[in-house]
Amino acid sequence: MGTLVTLSLPPDSPVAELPWVITVGASGEDEDWEPVVCGPYERAHALALAQAVVADEDLMAVVEPLLPLLDAEAIREEIETARVAALEAARIESVEPDGDELTERVEPGPAPSTAEVRAGFARLAARLVSE
């Protein structure tokens, strides 16, 4: 069984409405191949597809939001936000002792059908061009 990594979001998070991508790669150092990036998908579809892919194979899938930023300045601002967050996380780690990671085992459900994924693409496209 593989590993699925994603953000834990509160139910009302606006991030859930963003397009999501799946990056699938080797789970260990035994294999050496370039990860495969797929998407964009609606979050629920990305999670279900990633679960289906890693359910029976020793793979790692990362499901994360895709940020549709409109210009270079917006990208620079996002990079700065990420840098500040990383510095803050490093500061907290140096103060707090390491704890056990919380992991949640999830039984994979059915992957969405091709028609459901295509409908999700249409909804994402409509949101992206309307904002």
CA distances from 124 to 87, 110, 128 (A): 33, 21, 6
Asked whether the predicted pLDDT for residue 100 surpasses 60, the reply is no
94 occurs within a structural domain: no
pTM of the model: 0.76
- Cis peptide bond N-terminal to 40, omega within 30: yes
Distance of alpha carbon 75 from the chain centroid = 18
95 occurs within a structural domain: no
pLDDT tens digit string along 44-58? 999 999 999 999 889
83 occurs within a structural domain: no
Banded pLDDT at 88 (limits 50, 70, 90): confident
76 occurs within a structural domain: no
Domain that holds residue 125: 3-68+101-130
107 occurs within a structural domain: yes
- Please tell me the distance from the alpha carbon of residue 112 to that of residue 63, in angstroms, as a whole number: 15
pLDDT tens digit string along 3-29? 999 998 888 999 999 999 999 999 877
124: Cβ contacts below 8 Å, ≥ 6 apart:
19, 40, 41, 42
The β-bridge relationship of strands 59-65 and 3-6 is parallel
- Please tell me the distance from the alpha carbon of residue 56 to that of residue 51, in angstroms, as a whole number: 9
Position of tokens 């510095």? 87
CA atoms within 13 A on the CB side of 25: 12
Distance of alpha carbon 89 from the chain centroid = 19
Number of domains composing the chain: 1
93 occurs within a structural domain: no
- Please tell me the distance from the alpha carbon of residue 116 to that of residue 119, in angstroms, as a whole number: 5
10 occurs within a structural domain: yes
